[in-house]
Amino acid sequence: MINFKELAQEYKTPLYIYDLDYMTAQYNELKQAFKGRKSILAYAVKANSNLSVIKHFADLGSGADCVSIGEVRRAILAGIPAYRIIFSGVGKNDDEIREAIQKDILYINVESEAELKRVELIAKELDTICRISVRVNPNIDPKTHPYISTGLHGNKFGVDINSAKRMYILAKNSKNLDPVGIHFHIGSQLTELEPIYEAAAIVADMLRSLEAIDIELKFFDVGGGLGIKYNDEITIKPYDYAQAVLSALKGLDLTVICEPGRFLTANAGYFVTKVLYEKKNEQKRFVVVDGAMNDLLRPALYDAYHKIEAITESDSKLSKADIVGPVCESGDFFAKDYPLVDLQPNDLLVIHSAGAYGFGMGSNYNTRGRSAELALKGGEARLIRKRETFEDLIALEKDFLD
Contacts with ligand LLP, residue ranges (CB under 6 A): 44, 47, 65, 88, 148, 185, 188-189, 223-226, 259-263, 298, 356-357
Pick from 263, 240, 219, 235: nearest CA to 37: 219
Closest separation in Å from C-beta 160 to ligand LLP: 17
Nearer to ligand LLP, 160 or 392 (CB): 160
| Residue among 172, 23, 40, 171 at smallest CA distance from 105 | 40
Q: 226 or 244, CB closer to ligand LLP?
A: 226
Q: How far is the CB of 244 from ligand LLP (least distance, A)?
A: 15
Q: Which lies closer to ligand LLP via its Cβ, residue 29 or residue 278?
A: 29
Of all residues in the chain, what percent are helix, strand and coil, respectively (each to 5)? 35, 25, 40
CA distance 388 to 400: 21
Residue 355 CB coordination number (10 Å): 29
CB of 189 or CB of 294, closer to ligand LLP: 189
Residues annotated as catalytic are 328
Instruction: Write down the least CB distance from residue 177 to ligand LLP, Å.
Output: 20
CB of 352 to ligand LLP, least distance (A): 14
User: Read out DSSP for 215-249?
Assistant: ----EEE----B---SSS--PPPHHHHHHHHHHHT
* Residue 138 preceded by cis peptide, ω within 30: no
Pairing label, strands 380-385, 372-377 = antiparallel
What is the nearest approach in angstroms of ligand LLP to the Cβ of residue 227? Answer: 7
Closer residue to ligand LLP in complex, CB, 224/362: 224
